[in-house]
Amino acid sequence: MHKVISFYINLINETLKERVVKKEPANLYEPIDYTLKLGGKRIRPALLMLANNLFDGNDKTALNSALAIEIFHNFTLLHDDIMDEAPLRRGKPSVYKKWNTNVAILSGDVMLIESIQLLSKKNHPNLHQVLSIFNTTAIQVCEGQQLDMDFEELPNVSIDDYLKMIELKTAVLLGASLKIGAVISHASSDNSHHIYEFGKNLGIAFQLMDDILDLYGDPEKVGKRIGGDVISNKKTYLLLKAQELATGKAKKDLEFCLSSIVLDDNTKIEKVKSIFNTLNIKKLALEEMNLFYNTAISHLDSVDANESKKMVFEQFAKGLMKRDN
């Protein structure tokens, strides 16, 4: 990882560690402290700082906005974990499991408000624009989560709908982090637009890579069991593309795998993988991923800024796609 990126990640972690935490009511503030100290890759705030640096902004001004984005992201995790009934977060009990659902709802609410508070802590000429980007994005993230839940109940989800969902749920926040970094450093609207599109498209590519790695990743590098999405019938790009393309025997076999209650996990994974291989799903998914990745890079190319600083973004993007966790 480039040393500028590590520098910003360390800065975010140090600032979160030294953050003054209100003590009372303990049931409201302890879960927030717990969540923010669970760690995380800090990708979003690092991107905000990087974008701010790209356009020669002031690090101190940007830091509050970077923390705001990280706290907002963690707010979504608190509420998502309730909705998705996810007992673990970063290997530790999620807040609704460690405390209870009410605590996770209310602490999450406070984190959402704290993120707005941090964004608008200092008055600056672009405050209105920053809030406008943030609010639009925050609502999109909620829409993405709702679509994700809706899709679980639907028999058919199109690839277009799926791409829209991951764009809203994951990708727009990466774009917005970069755009806010750009806007507070007074970047031109063209540059702000291109850096946003870089982040958004990279985010979609990243999510598609996630889908691919679930089945085709190296278990040691991915750090979790291979095929988890297959076992749970999760509507990933791979499955949706297979459902779109499968006909005849492949279609019947796939339907059997999805509905059978007699198949053991390993057999199910092997059977589904073999259907995917017949339909060339891995290659198609990689092509789709590369499409978004290349769109991201072409937007980065269109950014008018110091070329060596732009290289850090490209390196970051490459690192993200080759990730081993």
Task: Mark residues 119-148: x for contact with its own copies by CB under 8 A, - for none.
Answer: -x--x---xx--xx--xx-xx--xx-xxx-
Complete DSSP assignment for 98-166: HS-HHHHHHHHHHHHHHHHHHHTSS--TTHHHHHHHHHHHHHHHHHHHHHHHHHHH-S---HHHHHHHH
Measured torsion, CA atoms of residues 101, 102, 108, 109, in degrees rounded to the nearest 10 = 150
Instruction: Report in angstroms how near the CB of residue 106 gets to its own copies at its nearest.
Output: 6
- Cα 309 to Cα 54: distance, rounded to the nearest angstrom: 6
Nearer to its own copies, 128 or 322 (CB): 128
Nearer to its own copies, 82 or 297 (CB): 82
Instruction: Report in angstroms how near the CB of residue 83 gets to its own copies at its nearest.
Output: 4
Nearer to its own copies, 153 or 307 (CB): 153
Instruction: Report in angstroms how near the CB of residue 66 gets to its own copies at its nearest.
Output: 18
Cβ-Cβ contacts under 8 Å for 71 (sequence gap 6 or more): 36, 111, 114, 115, 118
Instruction: Report in angstroms how near the CB of residue 147 gets to its own copies at its nearest.
Output: 6
Please pick, from the candidates 6, 27, 58, 290, the single residue that binds its own copies as defined by CB under 8 A. 27
Q: Which of residues 245-284 bind its own copies (CB under 8 A)?
A: none
Query: Within the chain, what is the greatest distance between any pair of CA atoms?
Result: 63
Judge whether 31 and 107 are in contact, CB under 8 Å: yes
List interacting residues with its own copies (CB under 8 A): 25, 27-28, 79, 82-83, 101-102, 105-106, 108-110, 112-114, 116-117, 120, 123, 127-128, 131-132, 135-136, 138-139, 142-143, 145-147, 149-150
